[in-house]
Amino acid sequence: MPEPASNPPSGPAAGESAIPESRAELSAAEPGAARDATTAAAPAAAPEFPTPPTRAAGGVGTPHLPGGVGSSPARPDAEAKVNGTFDYASDLAFPGMLWGHTLRSPHPRARLRAVDTAAALAMPGVAAVLTAADVPGKLHYGLIEADQPVLALDQVDYQGEPVAIVAAETLDLARRAAEAISVDYEVLEPACDPEEAVANGSYFRYQPVRLGDPDAQVPAAVVAREYVVGMQDQAPLGPESGAAVPTGDGGVELYVATQWVHSDLEQIAPCLGLEPDRIHMAIAGIGGAFGAREDLSVQVHMAMLALATGRPVKMMYDRAESFFGHVHRHPARMRYEHAADADGRLLYVKARIVLDGGAYASTTEAVVGNAASLAVGPYEVEHVSVDAWGARTNNPPCGAMRGFGGVQTCFAYESQMDALAEALGLDPLEFRRRNAVAQGSKLITGQIVDAYDPSRADGGRPFSPLADMLGRFKEIPVPAVPAGRDIIELPGGTGNTTHGEGVRRGVGYGVGLKNICYSEGFDDYSTASVRLELVDGQTVAFVHTAAAEVGQGHWSLQAQIVRTELGADRVELLPNDTKAGSAGSSSASRQSYMTGGAVKAACEAVRELLRGRDLADGPVEATRVFRHRATKPMDPVTGQGESHVQLALAVHRATVDVDVELGLVKVVDLTCVQDVGKIMNPVALEGQIHGGSAQGLGLAVMEEMITEQGRVKNASFTDYLIPTILDMPPMRLRIVENADPEAPYGLRGAGEPPTLSSTPAIVAAIRDATGLPLTQIPVRPEHLTAHFGRQP
């Protein structure tokens, strides 16, 4: 990584002019204020010292500074990343370092009769073999509820549960030593059916939502269907990894790829039997996360090994172990019933949602809350009956993945909206428009949609951001079928399976509604320190937070905010570690809002302190804790409550070609309209929408961890497929800025919403091409060809 001194200080505006015109199209939305802020493109001269911006809520008054908010400076980590010199957690090396490895259960459920480590310990070069008996402190950990054993005690409850850990001179030796550990298992029958688990009362959370009286309604059209969503994996390319270094006085330093270092510390310290101040944790380079790094993986294990051996210990999972070493997206089974009146207005929605949480709690509780509260999406409906469960089974534990409980129900409610529109003879967009929430609408939890400019009206009616977004597709034509095509562009691609004979085109839409930040009364905050000082005649801002840069571009964003607020010549980001206050997790699309908000608040405080002072007299420093508005828990019986902070919308239109004879699908275009409140960094934002859309495409047509009786059948990139560059279509973006008056700069979290909406859009397009109902994702070739050969 670049050393501070080697970076020549510069005038601003380094980034922008060099950026080639993107193929994605950015267009600011109507609202005058926000538009002014982003289209004032001519970079103003670098201010001597900026006049304090107004509160800048709603994007109003945000000055457009070169390198500041609204621009796309070069990512500070990019140079090291393109040179191969960025230190990921898996690249760490310390003198005298040992390698750690985990022995995992091959059985989804078994009793541990005995664990014999003698043969492994006797191998030359093996420094330690530890089991549950060696855990120094608390035996369990967990993000919300500490129910997961550090190492299996007398039982294992999922395939891949850690049983013992080894430290040895090389990774190869550590693996062989783990094989030499003899475990006597009494294999038990696993409980793998989430519906049965719910029936037996085995679940982490049940959350109903009750509104009005669905059974008293007289509908003109009713659609009832069952939907199945497979288990998706985050599959970040960087494996779980880190290093633990004993401090020599009984403490330990941990360098680890994690999304939330303070939550890690809270869970690790009790297990190690150490006071938290004896553990120093810093975030090491992260190779993607998407939720997979919210729960602990290597942390306690490598710390135990380091403390036991007195030597640095590195752990790094291989791909197969990675599939067992983190939680997944909850698979779901959902039964939905939607009804509408003759005017095409939703009358009622009933939903029964069963998410499979697997063996341990992880974040299932919060995922169920999202699934229930967002169960009907961004539509007005007055009569609702939702029941959502997070089942406990012996399947792999499930927890956080991009979209977090919003993805599964989005596939179901959007499929329902299409089916009901068809039953009513309405255009799917028109049906959605008629039912779209608007400013002042109530969600099914009673939460009022209040995040838009109250004075904006839409022909006398309250402003509906969704209706506005749906209308924008009129300006973007569906791509025409080209006269001549490279065979690679047809379904089947390089497989050379068709010249287009059985290929049919389809178009479909999907709308996603995602809550941003933590909901349901969680005390959600972030902390930032900013110190401004003169270094060699330049103003340098030192920024200290614990926020994880997982690839989303948060480091850039912090620097941009400092540039906007303080106009510093240079911004130096200090290590993201536990010496800073908690920043919360890089999840829930919340870091721009939360740590962005904290950095902004700290900058504002620095500016206040500077009034009437000269920076030459010494540095000025401020630390601020930022909180969003308070939320409330959902009522356990009715689900009512203002449980969410902020709501964000994305709409996708997918165009697909389907070879209806072979069941092969090629997505040929994805067009996304997303409301981001305020474009903070255009290039990074487009990257988030592209990447989120890609993960939604994966869930629509290829990604599924397949389990049989609790055993994972495809823990490899050979068998678990994620989209390649050949699977991805060109994407067109229309970015809308409906500012949120409550949020810093008016921004809305942007990372997750496109992951919700791209999946149902693609499946709707496949339905359009094939005429099949398609209620299960991922859609597989056999789903598209199964009707062949069936007796009529």
Partner 1 sequence: MRVQLRVDGEAAVAEIDRPGESLLATLRDRLGRYGTKNACEQGECGSCTVLLDGDPVCACLVATAQCEGRDVKTVVGAVPRPVRDAFIACGAVQCGFCTPGLLVSVADLLARDDDPSDVQIREALAGNLCRCTGYEKIIDAVHAAAEAMADGTARPPQRQWITTPVVPSAAAEATEATP
Considering only residues 148 to 177 of the shown chain, the ones binding partner 1 according to CB under 8 A are: 170-172
According to the binding rule CB under 8 A, does residue 550 interact with partner 1?
yes
| Piece of the chain touching partner 1 by CB under 8 A; list 28-36, 268-276, 304-312, 474-482 | 304-312
According to the binding rule CB under 8 A, does residue 126 interact with partner 1?
no
According to the binding rule CB under 8 A, does residue 500 interact with partner 1?
no
- Residue 240: both structure tokens together: 């779980």
**Of the two residues 298 and 573, which places its CB atom closer to partner 1 in the complex?**
573
Cα–chain center distance at 122: 44
According to the binding rule CB under 8 A, does residue 424 interact with partner 1?
no
Give the footprint of partner 1 on residues 388-417 (CB under 8 A).
none
| Total residues interacting with partner 1, rule: CB under 8 A | 114
Q: What is d(CA 120, CA 73) in angstroms, rounded to the nearest whole number?
A: 52
Q: Smallest distance, Å, CB 560 to partner 1? A: 9
**Of the two residues 424 and 599, which places its CB atom closer to partner 1 in the complex?**
599
According to the binding rule CB under 8 A, does residue 730 interact with partner 1?
yes
| Piece of the chain touching partner 1 by CB under 8 A; list 196-204, 344-352, 424-432, 566-574 | 566-574
| Piece of the chain touching partner 1 by CB under 8 A; list 432-440, 518-526, 725-733, 778-786 | 725-733
Q: Smallest distance, Å, CB 107 to partner 1? A: 25
224 Cβ neighbours under 8 A, 6+ residues apart: 335, 336, 337, 338
According to the binding rule CB under 8 A, does residue 609 interact with partner 1?
no
The stretches of 339-385 forming alpha helices (DSSP H) are 364-373
Q: Interface mask (CB under 8 A) for partner 1, residues 63-92, using x and -?
A: ----x----xxxxxxxxxxxxxxxxx-xxx
- Residue 216: both structure tokens together: 């008293």
Q: What is d(CA 661, CA 151) in angstroms, rounded to the nearest whole number?
A: 50
According to the binding rule CB under 8 A, does residue 199 interact with partner 1?
no
**Of the two residues 715 and 784, which places its CB atom closer to partner 1 in the complex?**
715
**Of the two residues 633 and 730, which places its CB atom closer to partner 1 in the complex?**
730
Number of H helices, E strands in the chain: 17, 30
84 Cβ neighbours under 8 A, 6+ residues apart: none
Q: Which of 122, 224, 488, 637 binds partner 1 (CB under 8 A)?
A: 488
**Residues belonging to the chain:** 792
Q: What is d(CA 781, CA 333) in angstroms, rounded to the nearest whole number?
A: 21
**Of the two residues 569 and 659, which places its CB atom closer to partner 1 in the complex?**
569
Q: Smallest distance, Å, CB 65 to partner 1? A: 12
| Piece of the chain touching partner 1 by CB under 8 A; list 131-139, 196-204, 369-377, 484-492 | 484-492
Q: Smallest distance, Å, CB 765 to partner 1? A: 17
- Asked if residue 294 lies in contact with residue 143, where contact means CB atoms within 8 angstroms, the answer is yes
**Of the two residues 84 and 201, which places its CB atom closer to partner 1 in the complex?**
84
Q: What is d(CA 561, CA 599) in angstroms, rounded to the nearest whole number?
A: 7
Which residue, chain included where needed, has tokens 């880190």? 242
Strands (E) in 318-469, as ranges, are 332-340, 346-356, 383-391, 457-458, 461-462
According to the binding rule CB under 8 A, does residue 179 interact with partner 1?
no
**Of the two residues 436 and 568, which places its CB atom closer to partner 1 in the complex?**
568
Q: What is the DSSP letter of 579?
A: T
Smallest Cα–Cα separation from 106: which of 163, 150, 153, 148? 163
Give the footprint of partner 1 on residues 253-292 (CB under 8 A).
253, 255, 282-290
**Of the two residues 334 and 603, which places its CB atom closer to partner 1 in the complex?**
603
Residue 181 amino acid letter:
I
- Asked if residue 279 lies in contact with residue 265, where contact means CB atoms within 8 angstroms, the answer is yes
Which residue, chain included where needed, has tokens 């310990």? 121
- Between the alpha carbon of residue 208 and those of residues 369, 379, 388, 639, 667, the distances in Å are 9, 18, 6, 6, 36
Give the footprint of partner 1 on residues 682-721 (CB under 8 A).
683-684, 686-687, 690-695, 716-718
Q: Which of 486, 523, 536, 614 binds partner 1 (CB under 8 A)?
A: 486
The stretches of 548-656 forming alpha helices (DSSP H) are 554-566, 591-610
Residue 235 amino acid letter:
A
- Between the alpha carbon of residue 605 and those of residues 559, 598, 614, the distances in Å are 16, 11, 15
**Of the two residues 89 and 354, which places its CB atom closer to partner 1 in the complex?**
89
Q: What is the DSSP letter of 660?
A: T
Q: Are strands 313-316 and 98-104 parallel, antiparallel or unpaired?
A: parallel
**Of the two residues 462 and 493, which places its CB atom closer to partner 1 in the complex?**
493
Q: Which of 58, 312, 597, 641 binds partner 1 (CB under 8 A)?
A: 312
Q: Smallest distance, Å, CB 249 to partner 1? A: 8
Q: Which of 556, 587, 595, 643 binds partner 1 (CB under 8 A)?
A: 556
According to the binding rule CB under 8 A, does residue 578 interact with partner 1?
no
**Of the two residues 286 and 756, which places its CB atom closer to partner 1 in the complex?**
286
Q: Which of 372, 573, 605, 712 binds partner 1 (CB under 8 A)?
A: 573
- Asked if residue 393 lies in contact with residue 453, where contact means CB atoms within 8 angstroms, the answer is no
682-701 and 406-424 helices cross at what angle (nearest 10)? 70
Print the SS3 string covering 62-116.
CCCCCCCCCCCCCCCCHHHHHHCCCCEHHHCCCCCCEEEEEEECCCCCEEEEEEE
According to the binding rule CB under 8 A, does residue 318 interact with partner 1?
yes
Q: Smallest distance, Å, CB 569 to partner 1? A: 7
- Asked if residue 65 lies in contact with residue 16, where contact means CB atoms within 8 angstroms, the answer is no
According to the binding rule CB under 8 A, does residue 310 interact with partner 1?
yes
**Of the two residues 87 and 430, which places its CB atom closer to partner 1 in the complex?**
87
According to the binding rule CB under 8 A, does residue 9 interact with partner 1?
yes
Q: What is d(CA 325, CA 578) in angstroms, rounded to the nearest whole number?
A: 24
According to the binding rule CB under 8 A, does residue 248 interact with partner 1?
yes
**Of the two residues 511 and 731, which places its CB atom closer to partner 1 in the complex?**
731
Q: Smallest distance, Å, CB 423 to partner 1? A: 34
Smallest Cα–Cα separation from 659: which of 489, 505, 777? 505
**Of the two residues 20 and 124, which places its CB atom closer to partner 1 in the complex?**
20
According to the binding rule CB under 8 A, does residue 94 interact with partner 1?
yes
Q: What is d(CA 605, CA 625) in angstroms, rounded to the nearest whole number?
A: 11
Give the footprint of partner 1 on residues 622-641 (CB under 8 A).
none
Q: Smallest distance, Å, CB 589 to partner 1? A: 15
**Of the two residues 23 and 787, which places its CB atom closer to partner 1 in the complex?**
23
268 sits in which H/E element:
helix 261-272
- Residue 790: both structure tokens together: 């069936």
**Of the two residues 448 and 574, which places its CB atom closer to partner 1 in the complex?**
574
